[in-house]
Amino acid sequence: MKRAVFPALLLALAVALPLQAQAGRSCEQARPTAELIVKGMQLAERTSQQLDAGGARVVLLARAGQDLGKYGLRYSHLGIAYKTDEGPWRVVHKLNQCGTAVAAVYRQGLGEFFLDDLWRYEAAWVVPAPAVQAQLLAALHEPPARIVRLNIAPYSIVSYAWGQKYQQSNQWAVETLAAAMEPATIGSRAQAQAWMQFKGYEPTTLRLGPLTRLGGRVGSANVAFDDHPNDKRFSDRIETVTVDSVFAWMPRAGLGAAPVAFKLQ
């Protein structure tokens, strides 16, 4: 396994990563079949071509790793993709270690990003406004790795959008965007979330009954509800950061264009 060390924090680059970490997809310890690898690489290649044609240097990139239709959601996982000086696109995103309640930030190529048993072979992205792209690029390239400074290890897939006890993958991406926009004044997750609220971000409210909540907490290490305010949790209102909510917010706040989607035929 090859690893690239940023000062003070670790971002891993690993071909075997889909067997070890997950976000927005199932956590089954199954080796990808040849067919799935081919389809994932085809989606990566076509996505790269689409991104190159668009001329952006940074996008918020999403995949559909699991079926979230019953919650009214289309995409499951969000990362920050950027065009390298060498040519290929890379994705920086947060992944949960399978079977645990911890996560870390990884840097991958598009092939690795889509090398999963995806629910739907579809990519979607939002092109940030030029000023947002510039700030994100600065965060990606400036030592000591500003891009990962708000990451915390404790993970819950349904972490409270305005809490700091846990942090899921989509939450890390949007909080990191906030910190990149105001690097001189945002140094904590609470400050990043305050900026998001100021800019009108609205999390998704999942309607999860008590049996669903209890089953998730008992059956999965990466599912916790104890960070949600009691008045919301016990009235079955679980507010969390989703790709769909971020994609709706970006153009509404003037931070980016409307989402673009590409589906592999």
In sequence order, the 6+-apart residues with CB closer than 8 A to the CB of 110 are 44, 45, 47, 48, 81, 88, 89, 90, 91
Residue 32's pLDDT is 74
Residue 6's pLDDT is 32
Residue 17's pLDDT is 33
Closest CA to 262 of 3, 88, 51, 77: 51
Residue 44's pLDDT is 97
Overall residue count recorded for the chain in this entry: 265
Pairing of strands 89-97, 21-22: antiparallel
Residue 142's pLDDT is 81
- Both tokens of 60, joined, read 């918020």
Domain boundaries, the chain: 3-263
Quick one: how far is CA 155 from the chain centroid? 13
Residue 143's pLDDT is 73
Mean pLDDT by 10 residues, the chain (265 residues): 31 33 52 87 97 97 93 96 96 90 95 89 98 96 82 96 98 98 96 98 85 49 91 90 98 98 92
Distance CA 255, CA 130 (A): 9
Q: Yes or no: say if 238 and 208 are a contact pair by the CB < 8 Å rule.
A: yes
